Structure 1
């Protein structure tokens, strides 16, 4: 397809902003939706760096699709910028697990299209993680190893990390700094998610999903093609329990 110089330049200007900032404004959203050529060019530019362009009503985002993308946030980068000195891959796995639990907490099933709650309290988030950890512990060692192969998550290490955290001060409303506690760890995960524009703090130790997060969840976490059944697995326990209770 032949594109005019003006079209190519405009598309590249938007892509440059996305590559630099990860986000573009409402004008870019309108062009992306209204102009097939600009949309096609932006999608093509993004594919070249293993990314995808997603949009809300107000913003466009450049989201890495694979670890090969130069825009992918590496485990080492997260360790350096968010986790305490000496952090291991176990801390990274637990951070990812905590993120998935938060996402799932806003939806009534892994195939929901819209959130079914407006906000989540941090203490609820901690409790939900504990419940999912308890469910993981119902599997024996061999089952966990098989599940680790299936989902590429080190479930045993996630359980170990969570269990090892000091919960003596769990009743405290706020914790931060280097205290190795569950609330302290969640404070770190929250900070990471706020910086990535996935959640917003709304006061009273409550957070809500951003439009960016909702769009990513709908596009990836709710599609089996991308999520590989991770939501169904983690939240399937709940449905199994409910089904058993109705017998």
Structure 2
């Protein structure tokens, strides 16, 4: 297809903003929706860097789709910029787990297409994680190892990391200088998600989801193709209980 120079330039200007900031505003959204050629070019630019373009009525985002994307946030980058010195893959697993539980808490364990709550307090988030950890503990070690192969998540290590942390907010036991409080760790996860523009702090230890987060959850987290059945594993026992009641 032959594109005019003006069309290519306009599409590239929008892509440049997306590549630089990860987000573009309402004018870009309108052009993307109204002009098939601009939309086609932007989608092609995105595919070249293993990204997909998603948007709301007000904003559009450039989201990495694979680990090969130059815009993908690597585990090492997260360790270097957010986690304490000596952080391991266990800390990364727990950060991802905490994020999954956060989104699930806003979306009624991923059973709703729209958020079922407006905000969440940090202490609620910690409690919800603890409940999921307790659920993981109901599985035998052999089962967890099998699930680890299936989902590529080290569930045993997630449990171990969480249990090694103190649940006191202000003070934490010092065991070889390694133990930190759960609230301290969660504050780190919160800071990472705020910087990624997935959540926003509104005061009083309360957070809300951003439109970017809602778009990503609805586009990816709800699709089994992307979540690989992880949510069914984490929350499946609740469905089983509901079926038993029915």
State TM-score, norm by structure 2.
Answer: 0.94
Deviation at 1:243, TM superposition (A): 3.8
Would you say the 8 A contact 1:29–1:60 is kept in 2?
A: yes
Would you say the 8 A contact 2:121–2:207 is kept in 1?
A: yes
- Write out per-residue CA displacement over residues 102-143 of structure 1, whole angstroms, 9 at most, x where no aligned residue: 000011242421011101111110000000000001111110
Unaligned runs of 5+ in 1: none
Residue 66 of structure 1 corresponds to which residue in structure 2?
66
Residue 33 of structure 2 corresponds to which residue in structure 1?
33
Give RMSD over aligned pairs: 1.6
**Distance of 2:36 and 2:122 partners within structure 1:** 42
Residue 110 of structure 2 corresponds to which residue in structure 1?
110
**Distance of 1:166 and 1:202 partners within structure 2:** 26
Residue 231 of structure 2 corresponds to which residue in structure 1?
231
**Distance of 1:133 and 1:34 partners within structure 2:** 47
Deviation at 1:42, TM superposition (A): 0.3
Would you say the 8 A contact 1:49–1:69 is kept in 2?
A: yes
Higher relative contact order (CA 8 A, sep 6+): 1
SS of the equivalent of 2:62 reads strand
State TM-score, norm by structure 1.
Answer: 0.93
Deviation at 1:202, TM superposition (A): 1.0
Residue 18 of structure 1 corresponds to which residue in structure 2?
18
- Write out per-residue CA displacement over residues 60-93 of structure 1, whole angstroms, 9 at most, x where no aligned residue: 1111000000000000100011000110000000
Unaligned runs of 5+ in 2: 172-177
**Distance of 2:131 and 2:236 partners within structure 1:** 13
Would you say the 8 A contact 1:51–1:69 is kept in 2?
A: yes
Runs of 4+ aligned residues of structure 1 deviating over 4 Å after TM superposition are none
Would you say the 8 A contact 2:107–2:117 is kept in 1?
A: yes
Would you say the 8 A contact 1:111–1:223 is kept in 2?
A: no
Would you say the 8 A contact 1:112–1:222 is kept in 2?
A: no
Would you say the 8 A contact 1:110–1:232 is kept in 2?
A: no
Deviation at 1:235, TM superposition (A): 1.5
SS of the equivalent of 1:201 reads strand
Residue 93 of structure 2 corresponds to which residue in structure 1?
93
